[in-house]
């Protein structure tokens, strides 16, 4: 009982730590040097923090978690490959690091990857109980809700207001801003100097005009990844809270969860995220215990409805040539070239931008990451790094999914659906390099693995 209480307290603290990551560590770790430490209380509250701070905060938490594991004398009950593969992947990152082309980028990335593996083991060995996981969700989902509220505020208030202020500032010669604010805006490239005139950065103006929200994360597609990861379990918990809440409050909780998640997801403008969301809806319907004809009609309706909205929502993007899709193919081609050139160790963890500088077409936009978490493992750490990572994720998802497909545990399946969607988005994004996303995802993957293992073992023993 004493160990169980300690585990609950630890889960509460760790959940708030993951919530802090969503609030403050939503940038890729390779951008750490570009994030200025806050120099005022307002900056401390409102701005992102340097990502290396996350590692130092996490270090004592990880040590406390390891102590709990040893106190509980927990052993790994699943196939050995599901602990060997992540350790092999992480170990190979250090071998690759010895051959890196940029030590600072690799050092930041090693911190990130070590955090991913640690979260995975903590989830499987410490948070392998439903009651403990419910406590873990307190801080995590509170931060997720805050992020969604922030997104709605960006769309409805912040972006339109900032766009108007910049237009008015430029037309009035910036007399509507105090000198210290103008200096800060120039430092952040919100105001740029062109032909000896201070003008609003057209890129920033375009961002405000488009209105694509990012919440507390680095950019809109990252927010879409967070919603794919956490919205299913948020809805499942909201729907399952009926026995704890009065009907009016229960209805309000469900309505709020649907409204915040749906509007924020739509306003991210994420093309890949939308397609994955459609697939996730189809998966949910496919799993229902309905008659075959009803199930097929429901899936077809969801596909037609979802793809119809997709076509209307993004028709301007595709008519303009789908530039981001073409850019991603350029990144991926460069990653393949790097893998073929350095098949053993790659260019070093987190260093894609260095070979890409040499390989990209002159007209292509510069990129710091491959926009494909799986392909970047091959490019950055060679064939061994890519294969161990891809095999680990595939086996872990397959092991959990096989046991959950016919399970009645709606919460566990919602977590699995979110993880499946998040890792699928990894084929077109770089969420593995963002602490807020990756550390949360690997904690939940471990949680699900540990929870399902415990349930399976109990059923086996009873049989």
Residue 446 lies in a domain: yes
- Share above pLDDT 90 across residues of the chain, in percent, rounded to a whole number: 64
Q: How many domains does the chain have?
A: 1
- Whether the pTM exceeds 0.85: the reply is yes
Residue 359 lies in a domain: yes
Reference 352, options 98, 55, 106, 111; nearest CA is: 106
| Residues 174/182, Cβ–Cβ less than 8 Å | yes
Which range marks the domain in which residue 204 is found? 2-269+314-462
Pull the structure tokens for residue 25: 């560590």
Residue 297 lies in a domain: no
Residue 448 lies in a domain: yes
| Predicted pLDDT at 320 | 66
Residue 210 lies in a domain: yes
211: left (phi over 0), alpha (psi -120 to 50) or beta: left
**Around Cβ 463, how many Cβ atoms within 10 Å?**
5
Residue 143 lies in a domain: yes
In Å, the largest CA–CA distance within the chain is: 80
| Predicted pLDDT at 456 | 42
| Predicted pLDDT at 356 | 94
| Predicted pLDDT at 459 | 44
Reference 214, options 38, 28, 52, 26; nearest CA is: 26
Residue 179 lies in a domain: yes
Residue 299 lies in a domain: no
| Predicted pLDDT at 407 | 83
**Could you report how far apart the first and last alpha carbons of the chain are, in Å?**
27
> Which stretches of the chain score pLDDT less than 70?
1-4, 77, 242-243, 320-322, 452-463
């Amino acid at each position: 009982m004493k160990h169980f209480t300690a585990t609950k307290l630890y889960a509460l603290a760790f959940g708030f730590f993951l919530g802090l990551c969503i609030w403050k560590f939503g940038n890729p770790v390779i951008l750490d040097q570009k994030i200025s430490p806050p120099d005022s209380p307002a900056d401390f509250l409102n701005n992102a923090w340097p990502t290396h701070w996350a590692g130092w905060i996490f270090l004592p938490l990880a040590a406390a978690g390891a102590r709990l594991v040893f106190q509980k004398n927990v052993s790994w009950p699943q196939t050995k490959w599901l602990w060997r593969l992540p350790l092999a992947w992480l170990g190979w990152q250090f071998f690759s690091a010895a051959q890196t082309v940029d030590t600072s980028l690799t050092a930041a990335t090693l911190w990130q990857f070590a955090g991913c593996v640690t979260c995975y083991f903590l989830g499987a060995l410490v948070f392998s109980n439903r009651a403990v996981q419910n406590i873990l969700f307190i801080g995590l989902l509170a931060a997720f809700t805050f992020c969604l509220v922030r997104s709605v505020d960006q769309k409805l208030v912040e972006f339109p207001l900032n766009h108007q202020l910049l237009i008015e500032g430029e037309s009035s010669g910036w007399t509507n801003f105090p000198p210290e604010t103008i200096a800060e805006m120039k430092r952040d490239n919100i105001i740029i100097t062109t032909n000896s005139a201070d003008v609003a950065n057209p890129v920033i103006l375009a961002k405000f005009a488009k209105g694509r929200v990012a919440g507390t994360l680095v950019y809109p597609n990252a927010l879409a990844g967070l919603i794919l990861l956490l919205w299913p379990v948020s809805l499942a918990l909201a729907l399952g809270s009926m026995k704890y809440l009065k009907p009016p409050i229960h209805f309000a909780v469900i309505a709020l969860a649907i409204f915040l998640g749906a509007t924020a997801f739509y306003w991210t403008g994420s093309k890949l995220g939308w397609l994955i969301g459609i697939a996730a809806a189809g998966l949910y319907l496919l799993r229902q215990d309905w008659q075959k004809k009803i199930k097929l009609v429901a899936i077809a309706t969801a596909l037609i409805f979802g793809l119809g909205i997709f076509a209307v929502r993004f028709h301007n993007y595709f008519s303009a040539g789908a530039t981001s899709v073409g850019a991603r193919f350029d990144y991926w081609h460069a990653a393949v070239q790097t893998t073929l050139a350095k098949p053993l160790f790659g260019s070093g963890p987190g260093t894609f931008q260095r070979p890409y500088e040499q390989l990209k077409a002159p007209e292509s936009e510069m990129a710091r990451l491959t926009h494909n978490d799986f392909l970047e493992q091959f490019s950055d750490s060679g064939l061994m790094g890519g294969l161990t990572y891809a095999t680990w994720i595939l086996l872990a998802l397959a092991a959990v999914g096989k046991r959950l497909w016919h399970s009645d545990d709606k919460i566990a399946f919602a977590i699995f659906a979110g993880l499946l969607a998040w890792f699928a988005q990894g084929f077109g994004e770089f969420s593995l390099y963002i602490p807020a996303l990756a550390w949360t995802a690997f904690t939940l993957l471990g949680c699900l693995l540990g929870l399902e293992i415990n349930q399976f073992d109990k059923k086996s023993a009873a049989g």
